[in-house]
Amino acid sequence: MTYRLLRSYLTLAALVLVALVWPLGHFYIRSEQTRAIASLEHDAEALAAFADHLIETDSTDRLPRLARENAASTGGRVVVVDSTGRLFAAWPPLEPGEAAGLSTRPEIATALRGGSRAGVRRERSRRGELVHLAVPTRPGPAVRGAVRLTVPGSSVDGNSGRVWGFLALVGAAVLALAAVAAVALARWIGRPVRYLEETAARIAAGGDLVVPERTVSGPPELRRLTETLRTTARRLQYLLTAQGAFAGEASHQLRTPLAALRLRLENLERDVAPRSLPDWEAALTETDRLARTTETLLAMARLDEASLEPEPLDLDAAVARHVRTWVPLAAESGVRLTASGGPVGRVWAVPGGVEQILDNLLANAVRAAPPGSTVVVHRLARRPRRGLPPIVELHVVDQGPGLDAAQRERAFDRFWRAPDAPKGGTGLGLPLVRQLARASGGEALLLPAPGRGLDATVVLRAVTESVNGGHSGGSTAGGQSGASARVSAVDGRHGR
């Protein structure tokens, strides 16, 4: 922003300087030239009066001396001609051939016609630019002759070069002052903007919402905006803390009563009448569902409160363990569970995150899959785009009814369940999966499976081995690498 403001102010200042200095310089130089021509004309008229007197008294032999003296005083050349243009005297002497045709020279012709106007002509010669000025020896129609003064153009133009140099120095000084003022103004304006940008970036990266109190100078509007951001961040921090505390405390307080309630229900099994057995089983199922909801809420609350750092995890081993664990559970529902894909190595994940992700995704897939269908756990390592870190995709694909686009967008909302979803779900599994994936610096997505069903995809950052044996690929979940992985995940929605 500083560069843009500096460029704008300097451009504006330069335009103003050109609009003012250019006409001013030309006006001053033109005025100096007019003054020099007037002075030269005055000298020529004085000389013409003497020459007219000498011509009238038939003393033309004195004209060469008069021409020599005036040429020395003016620093130029003096030429005196009669009414027909014949040369009377010239100093310095004219070169051979120059005396012929003097009457045809524009300035001398103008002077010989009489009148009050002097003839002026500029000429470029091998000696440089010359200015010729001719006046009649006497005003009026009865002209006895004319006097021409020729001086170098520099004597008429005067100090125009120095004038332009002075104006250029003034313009440079004005531009320098404008640059200093522009930089100071840009920093004054940009200081609160940079503070707001840094604060917003820290909040967006998952940092602390408590904005430190700091005096920030700048325009009043930006200072008010800074204070508004502080107030908003404090309120958000309070609301999030209260929400997390409520969910965590409520879930923690409900664990023991729910465990006791289930134990009492189990103890009542022998005393339940046969016709009440379905109600007893329904109560036991609802108690289990409530217990799972409580455990999930407690896990999410702990995840919100903890600042967990991702650690390298062998994804191949984790998938193999969970597939072995879930094969018999899926078989009880008549569903076949398989794993596919080559080795992908290690990924960055928060401790226990991949295990909970697999448990929730497999539970949803087995619950949604019809008997006789297959649930596939597929893993794939790839680099999405040049400049982005390598990623690993974990897919859990079922052959159930699937979800439409609107339902896939809402599936990550807490407590949302599809209208035709099987009973027993809590509506918290997928939100927990996304929360764990993002805490690991990745992303969770729902895609339509080929043919029929749902493809639950989790994208994680791959751990790449550096030359010296260390690990690379990002360190913090909330940093730039996490953002890159989430971009990669979005980029990979249609890339498979």
Q: For 464-485, what is each residue's pLDDT tens digit?
A: 864 334 444 544 434 444 444 4
- DSSP β-bridge partners for residue 145: 82
Contact 304, 209 (CB under 8 A): no
Residue 302: the pLDDT is 62
Mean pLDDT score, 133-139: 86
Contact 399, 361 (CB under 8 A): no
Whether the per-residue pLDDT at 239 is higher than 80: the answer is no
C-alpha angle 319/321/326, rounded to 5°? 90
Q: What is the CATH number of domain 205-306?
A: 1.10.287.130
Token pair for 195? 């503070």
In the chain, CATH 3.30.565.10 sits at: 308-491
Quick count: other Cβ atoms within 10 Å of Cβ 336?
A: 14
Mean pLDDT score, 186-193: 79
Residue 431: the pLDDT is 87
* Higher-pLDDT residue of 375, 12: 375
* Higher-pLDDT residue of 346, 478: 346
* Higher-pLDDT residue of 489, 80: 80
For the 2-162 domain, the top CATH level (class) is: alpha beta
Burial 146-157 (b: 16+ CB within 10 A, else e): bbbbbbeeeebb
Q: Give the side-chain half-sphere CA count within 13 A for 293.
A: 17
Residue 485: the pLDDT is 45
Residue 404: the pLDDT is 86
**d(C-alpha 254, C-alpha 287), whole Å:** 11
Contact 90, 51 (CB under 8 A): no
Burial 158-185 (b: 16+ CB within 10 A, else e): bebeebbeebeeebeebeeebeeebeee
Mean pLDDT score, 183-202: 79
Whether the per-residue pLDDT at 439 is higher than 90: the answer is no
Mean pLDDT score, 184-193: 80
Residue 397: the pLDDT is 94
Q: Where is average pLDDT lowest: 110-114, 180-184, 329-333, 492-496?
A: 492-496
Quick count: other Cβ atoms within 10 Å of Cβ 9?
A: 18
Give the list of residues 6+ apart from residue 35 with CB closer than 8 angstroms, or none. none
At the second CATH level, the architecture of 308-491 is 2-Layer Sandwich (3.30)
What is the layout of strands, in order, in the sheet containing 336-340? 336-340, 374-382, 391-397, 454-461, 443-448
Q: Where is average pLDDT lowest: 42-56, 252-266, 321-335, 392-406?
A: 252-266
Residue 469: the pLDDT is 42
Q: Where is average pLDDT lowest: 55-64, 234-243, 457-466?
A: 234-243
Contact 119, 95 (CB under 8 A): no
Give the list of residues 6+ apart from residue 432 with CB closer than 8 angstroms, or none. 296, 299, 300, 303, 356, 360
Residue 480: the pLDDT is 41
Q: Where is average pLDDT lowest: 237-241, 250-254, 371-375?
A: 250-254
In the chain, CATH 3.30.450.20 sits at: 2-162
**What confidence category does residue 228 fall into, taking pLDDT thresholds of 50, 70 and 90?**
confident
| Residue 99 identity | A
Token pair for 391? 């990623």
Q: Could you tell me how many residues make up the chain?
A: 496
Indicate the Cα dihedral angle 325, 327, 331, 336, nearest 10°.
160
In the chain, CATH 1.10.287.130 sits at: 205-306
Token pair for 270? 């022998």
**What confidence category does residue 29 fall into, taking pLDDT thresholds of 50, 70 and 90?**
confident
Using DSSP bridges, classify how beta strands 128-136 and 471-472 pair: parallel, antiparallel or unpaired: unpaired
Whether the per-residue pLDDT at 353 is higher than 90: the answer is no
Whether the per-residue pLDDT at 244 is higher than 50: the answer is yes
